[in-house]
């Protein structure tokens, strides 16, 4: 009869999955950086590539702390997210729209990782692996910061730049159909009509 898996086994499995996800991201991040037009966005992807290399080394320390062999297991989830990112890069978008889309792709990856590390930290704590929990929490914090940075870039001008490019040739004489008080809230939707 096969042995019944425990939370410890699931934890190791999830670590291997995440290790592989990070490795896949080291190949995807340079492509995102290369496709970015905004120097700040490019720098953000390049910085996160360096962080990702550190996160891989940190995961290796986690394996060691658990007396487990360092091993990855193909992560289908991040592969799908990376695949979607590649499709976006093949689109013929204007520069700022492409930047906005690259941020969207990057944030999907970050949120996937935040979910993985959130689980890993909780499981490490539940199973009493204090050292592993501490290391994994450091990475979780880095992923959250990277996500926040991307939000800051999107909301700090890139989305607006893309929106301005979208409506650059809109007829300025077009009557405004929304009431002044709600114009700010619904303006973008009205403008698309």
- Interface with Fe ion (CB under 5 A): 52, 55, 113
Nearer to Fe ion, 18 or 97 (CB): 18
CB-side exposure of 135: number of CA atoms within 13 Å? 19
Nearer to Fe ion, 96 or 112 (CB): 112
Nearer to Fe ion, 38 or 52 (CB): 52
Minimum distance of Fe ion from residue 113's CB (angstroms): 5
Minimum distance of Fe ion from residue 50's CB (angstroms): 11
CA gap 136, 118 in Å, rounded: 8
Nearer to Fe ion, 28 or 162 (CB): 28
Minimum distance of Fe ion from residue 142's CB (angstroms): 7
Q: Is 43 exposed, middle or buried (0-12, 13-18, 19+ CB in 10 A)?
A: middle
Minimum distance of Fe ion from residue 128's CB (angstroms): 25
Q: Which two tokens stand for residue 38?
A: 């905004």
CB-side exposure of 188: number of CA atoms within 13 Å? 8
């Amino acid at each position: 009869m096969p042995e019944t898996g425990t939370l410890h086994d699931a934890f190791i499995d999830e670590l291997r999955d995440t290790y592989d996800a990070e490795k896949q991201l080291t190949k995807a991040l340079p492509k995102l950086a290369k496709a970015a037009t905004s120097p700040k966005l490019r720098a953000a992807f390049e910085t996160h590539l360096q962080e990702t290399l550190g996160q891989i080394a940190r995961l290796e320390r986690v394996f060691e702390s658990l007396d487990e062999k360092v091993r990855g297991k193909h992560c289908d989830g991040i592969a799908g997210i990376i695949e979607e990112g590649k499709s976006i890069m093949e689109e013929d978008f204007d520069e700022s729209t492409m930047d906005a889309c690259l941020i969207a792709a990057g944030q999907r990856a970050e949120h996937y990782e935040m979910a993985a590390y959130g689980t890993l930290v909780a499981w490490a704590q539940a199973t009493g692996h204090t050292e592993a929990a501490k290391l994994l929490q450091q990475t979780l914090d880095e992923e959250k910061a990277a996500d926040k940075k991307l939000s800051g870039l999107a909301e700090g001008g890139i989305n607006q730049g893309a929106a301005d490019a979208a409506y650059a040739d809109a007829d300025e004489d077009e009557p405004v159909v929304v009431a002044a008080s709600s114009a700010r809230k619904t303006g973008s939707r009205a403008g698309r009509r």
